[in-house]
Structure 1
Amino acid sequence: MDKDPQDYPHTAISTWSGFVYQGKLAVYYFLELISRNYEDNRELKLQLESEDDFAIFHGDQCISLHQVKAYKDTLFSKYRPGIEKQKEKALEHNIDTAYFHVARNIADLPESFEQDYQPVKLYRYPLQPEQENGETKAYCPLDEIDSIIEKQIVVLIRKIDGIENWKINCCGRIREALEAMVNAKVIAVHSKIHASKIHQAQLASEEFVPFSELCEVLESEEFESIENEDYFLSRLQIDIGTYYKDFCDIQEGISQKNQDKLDQYLAVITELNKEQMKDFLRAVMPHRKGKFRTLREFKDETVDRDSIRQGLFAIFYQLISADNFLSERIPFFWQDNEAFFYPTGIHTGAESGDTICYDILQQSLSEDVECLFEEGALVTTSIDRPNITHVRFGVDAIADEDNSTQGHSIISFQKMSLVSLNNIPENLKDAEID
């Protein structure tokens, strides 16, 4: 007999906050378990966003629960509701192992914590990322987790005879490949939930990442076969998610409304397929030079932390919620009367305006950036220019119709301006932002 949908665990997968951190912790715990018993623990599997933020299963049996909190807060009162809920769930389902993972030290943790909240325990990490056997701490900052994962990969390689020692030199690539596999599952589950709108928790509960598949990454002799377009799509999603979390961390007093707004932007971005991601990055980084044909090229040359944090997400934050999917190739835009506004990651100062216009025009001669041939403005943080033909680089700004790029006249560029956040129409600015 099928379960009633309400019997399935709650899933919060659609919120996205901290999903990158959560995935990294899941990878680290996998590595710890597989280091203890490589052959036996290959039979385990990882479940995401169902029983808990992640859970470990042996067959149909859940053997451990893991809740992840990347809060800024350090007071126990902020974490207590989640801990109590995890304790209740563990006792209800007779699960002996329940770990609570936090990114910051809880300053006023009660001395009787473990006694009061059995079987819940705070998960402990090396005091320093490079430590192998030493003191531990009951929290793990996001900026340390990569080093801790890679150290655990080294421990595993040295311990397991079937994994060649030369792979110690490839710990970063192994970590990224493992994270990409876990992240791909998060994206796949989210997409199914978004498409179905029904039985959300059931969908999440039926999706697993077998440890055996993660072990294949450790055992692979050829990383190039792993680092395909799907891999680079997942790495881009992880990078953007990490930069998003960075951006949220530095905002003071962000309202729930604006948090939800930003969450929705990230949800749309992370659901883009390979071709949509390329079009999105071309549109928001129109000044980046290069013939971008693969996601590897975008990953290497286009997406950087500051462009996303100080550019794209700063623009998303300062303005009202954008419409999305004006066309398949332009995910986000704002409209004011007949004028359209397109977000970018351009965050350099006003003095760089001529250089930015030059780079956009030069890139546009070889790359088909859809929004550049629409009438409107590219939104930047600080630069205003009446049109992107403000500078000339050997192509006449008033060229005739014979001068074209991929079927578009250069004269079309005169319809596209750069506008700073200061000069966006007032009705497009978020009233909650000072």
Structure 2
Amino acid sequence: MAVAPQVLPHTAISTWSGFVYQGKLALYHCLKLMSSDYAANRDLKLQLESQDDFAIFRRQQCLSMHQVKAYKDPRFSAYSDGISTQRDNARQRGVALAYFHVAREVTNVPATFVADYGPVRFYTYPIPPDAAGNVIQSFCPLNQVDMFIRDELSSLLVNAAMQPAWKNYIVANIQNTLEAIVNLKVIMTHSKIHESTRHQTVIAASEFIEFSELYDVIEANDYAPFENEAFFLSRLQIDIGTYYQEFCERQDSLSQAACQKLDDYLAAITSLNVEGMKAFLRATMPHKKGRFKTLSEFKDQSLDRDAMRLGMFTIFWKLVQTARNDGSDVAFSWLNDGLFYYPTGIHHAAEHQESICHDIMQQAISEDVECLFECGALITSAIDRPSISDVIIGIDATEGVDTAEHELLRENRIGNYKKVAMISLNNVPESLKDAEPD
């Protein structure tokens, strides 16, 4: 019987909520392989979103395929379809190793699991011995993956790679650099697939990270060149993705439509280039202080967990689909009756509104916060205020300009600020609210 021609496998993309976790587990497995035979595994390569969530190749041969699930449900029945699909794919393609990674301990695993689902197995992680003497667990909690990576990397540097001792003092820097490499590829692959519905398999099957890139980081003598704008963009994407996953974890009843809407928002954010990310953070965090000229400054000062979870993602969840305004540098806004509405990460209670407005005004004067120069309202979690400009007293709106421009600039700026309001999520126009019930 004739052998059917090889086809590119389907992609495993279904949601953006676990892309950071997926990338971290892929890196962890790569480090494990490097530790197992440092000299022999330089020619391996990591493939993303094709054979499975990720896979390891040597030349054209798939050595192992990996599926990642971070479900809340611990019951085996929640995973059985995914395990069955992975088993069938592995058997069809002759892949001897198929690993299933989970974030929670799976219960009710059938006693016949090995016979029924081989070659699939649950991936194991090392832990300190428990009361029963166990030294491995078959799951990796979201809050433990960084620890596993750090421990494996520390061991690799000393034992397998035999790197100088000073590298043990910068393990976190090396880990961040490695994660940035993997994350950039994950983001690129997710973005391409998100934009395309016809060529997903071709896109995913061609996306590899050569292990030589990882070896270059392990063996580098100077890590300063790695900390460029691309690096900090990746670190911001990782942070935003982590906060997004935490947001999703805390929601008990997100519908499929809500998940898709939030995924679309995250896809739009993570597709931003360096300048786009700067504009996004200036617009959505207008109350953050600092002269943000580089992404490293944004990374250190402008983004925090609560601003994303309690501010941005909550607003995205409750309001309409993402929209881009042509000709505007602001990535997200909605237009209603001639007034622009801008989502922000401002999640503070109403009693803090005076200080928040003061911070926004100061930042708008020192930085080019685009949305404050159009007629609009900043959407917050809990603050309603008709104008932010009544805190103009005590703020020098003309610092750094000559006398001839003084009065005109003051008049224009105050006039613009009077048009900017703050509105709480509960009081935005009904037409902007999601028609879907909570």
1:80 aligned residue: 80
Once the 2 structures are TM-superposed, how far is the Cα of residue 253 of structure 1 from its aligned partner? 0.9
Once the 2 structures are TM-superposed, how far is the Cα of residue 395 of structure 1 from its aligned partner? 4.1
Q: Deviations over 1:225-280 (max 9, x none)?
A: 11110000011001100100100110111111101000000000000000000000
145-154 or 216-225, which deviates more: 216-225
How far apart in 2 are the matches of 1:354 and 1:394?
Answer: 13
How far apart in 2 are the matches of 1:72 and 1:320?
Answer: 27
2:102 aligned residue: 102
How far apart in 1 are the matches of 2:216 and 2:396?
Answer: 56
Q: Deviations over 1:304-350 (max 9, x none)?
A: 11100011001111112231244451111112211110000000111
Q: Aligned to 2:415, which of 397, 411, 427?
A: 411
Once the 2 structures are TM-superposed, how far is the Cα of residue 194 of structure 1 from its aligned partner? 4.9
How far apart in 1 are the matches of 2:129 and 2:388?
Answer: 47
How far apart in 2 are the matches of 1:230 and 1:308?
Answer: 21
154-163 or 366-375, which deviates more: 154-163
How far apart in 2 are the matches of 1:320 and 1:109?
Answer: 41
* Aligned residue identity for 2:297: E
1:269 aligned residue: 269
Once the 2 structures are TM-superposed, how far is the Cα of residue 365 of structure 1 from its aligned partner? 0.7
- Cα distance, 1:278–1:5 mapped onto 2, change above 3 Å: farther
- Cα distance, 1:414–1:6 mapped onto 2, change above 3 Å: farther
TM-score (norm 1): 0.93
2:307 aligned residue: 307
1:320 aligned residue: 320
| Paired residue secondary structure (1:183) | helix
2:337 aligned residue: 337
Once the 2 structures are TM-superposed, how far is the Cα of residue 113 of structure 1 from its aligned partner? 1.3
Once the 2 structures are TM-superposed, how far is the Cα of residue 163 of structure 1 from its aligned partner? 1.5
- Cα distance, 1:248–1:161 mapped onto 2, change above 3 Å: closer
Once the 2 structures are TM-superposed, how far is the Cα of residue 157 of structure 1 from its aligned partner? 1.4
How far apart in 2 are the matches of 1:147 and 1:292?
Answer: 31
Once the 2 structures are TM-superposed, how far is the Cα of residue 193 of structure 1 from its aligned partner? 3.6
The answer to whether the Cα contact below 8 Å between 2:286 and 2:360 also exists between their aligned partners in 1 is: yes
| Paired residue secondary structure (2:333) | strand
The answer to whether the Cα contact below 8 Å between 2:191 and 2:267 also exists between their aligned partners in 1 is: no
Once the 2 structures are TM-superposed, how far is the Cα of residue 390 of structure 1 from its aligned partner? 2.5
95-104 or 191-200, which deviates more: 191-200
1:56 aligned residue: 56
The answer to whether the Cα contact below 8 Å between 1:404 and 1:410 also exists between their aligned partners in 2 is: no
* Aligned residue identity for 1:148: F
Asked if 1:420 corresponds to 2:391, the answer is no
1:172 aligned residue: 172
> Identity of aligned pairs, percent?
52
Asked if 1:150 corresponds to 2:150, the answer is yes
How far apart in 2 are the matches of 1:164 and 1:300?
Answer: 29
How far apart in 2 are the matches of 1:79 and 1:27?
Answer: 23
Once the 2 structures are TM-superposed, how far is the Cα of residue 408 of structure 1 from its aligned partner? 5.8
Once the 2 structures are TM-superposed, how far is the Cα of residue 197 of structure 1 from its aligned partner? 4.9
2:401 aligned residue: none
| Paired residue secondary structure (1:172) | helix
TM-score (norm 2): 0.93
* Aligned residue identity for 1:296: S
The answer to whether the Cα contact below 8 Å between 2:361 and 2:389 also exists between their aligned partners in 1 is: yes
1:121 aligned residue: 121
How far apart in 2 are the matches of 1:129 and 1:319?
Answer: 48
2:239 aligned residue: 239
The answer to whether the Cα contact below 8 Å between 1:382 and 1:420 also exists between their aligned partners in 2 is: yes
Once the 2 structures are TM-superposed, how far is the Cα of residue 195 of structure 1 from its aligned partner? 5.5
How far apart in 2 are the matches of 1:263 and 1:401?
Answer: 46
The answer to whether the Cα contact below 8 Å between 2:350 and 2:384 also exists between their aligned partners in 1 is: yes
Q: Deviations over 1:57-76 (max 9, x none)?
A: 00011010000001111011
* Aligned residue identity for 1:227: E
- Cα distance, 1:408–1:225 mapped onto 2, change above 3 Å: farther
Once the 2 structures are TM-superposed, how far is the Cα of residue 188 of structure 1 from its aligned partner? 2.2
| Paired residue secondary structure (1:260) | helix
How far apart in 2 are the matches of 1:134 and 1:173?
Answer: 32
Q: Deviations over 1:333-392 (max 9, x none)?
A: 112211110000000111010101000000111100111111010000001111111323
Once the 2 structures are TM-superposed, how far is the Cα of residue 407 of structure 1 from its aligned partner? 11
How far apart in 2 are the matches of 1:128 and 1:85?
Answer: 33
| Paired residue secondary structure (2:366) | coil
Asked if 1:221 corresponds to 2:221, the answer is yes
The answer to whether the Cα contact below 8 Å between 1:326 and 1:332 also exists between their aligned partners in 2 is: no
| Paired residue secondary structure (2:368) | coil
1:199 aligned residue: 199
How far apart in 2 are the matches of 1:192 and 1:37?
Answer: 34
RMSD: 2.5
Once the 2 structures are TM-superposed, how far is the Cα of residue 17 of structure 1 from its aligned partner? 2.5
The answer to whether the Cα contact below 8 Å between 1:43 and 1:58 also exists between their aligned partners in 2 is: yes
- Cα distance, 1:5–1:350 mapped onto 2, change above 3 Å: farther
The answer to whether the Cα contact below 8 Å between 2:276 and 2:329 also exists between their aligned partners in 1 is: yes
| Paired residue secondary structure (1:409) | helix
The answer to whether the Cα contact below 8 Å between 1:126 and 1:134 also exists between their aligned partners in 2 is: no
Unmatched 5+ residue regions in structure 2?
398-403
The answer to whether the Cα contact below 8 Å between 1:375 and 1:416 also exists between their aligned partners in 2 is: yes
How many residues are paired up? 429
Once the 2 structures are TM-superposed, how far is the Cα of residue 7 of structure 1 from its aligned partner? 2.3
| Paired residue secondary structure (1:15) | coil
* Aligned residue identity for 1:385: R
Once the 2 structures are TM-superposed, how far is the Cα of residue 19 of structure 1 from its aligned partner? 0.6
- Cα distance, 1:423–1:196 mapped onto 2, change above 3 Å: closer
How far apart in 1 are the matches of 2:408 and 2:72?
Answer: 51
The answer to whether the Cα contact below 8 Å between 1:373 and 1:408 also exists between their aligned partners in 2 is: no
- Cα distance, 1:221–1:271 mapped onto 2, change above 3 Å: same
How far apart in 2 are the matches of 1:350 and 1:180?
Answer: 38
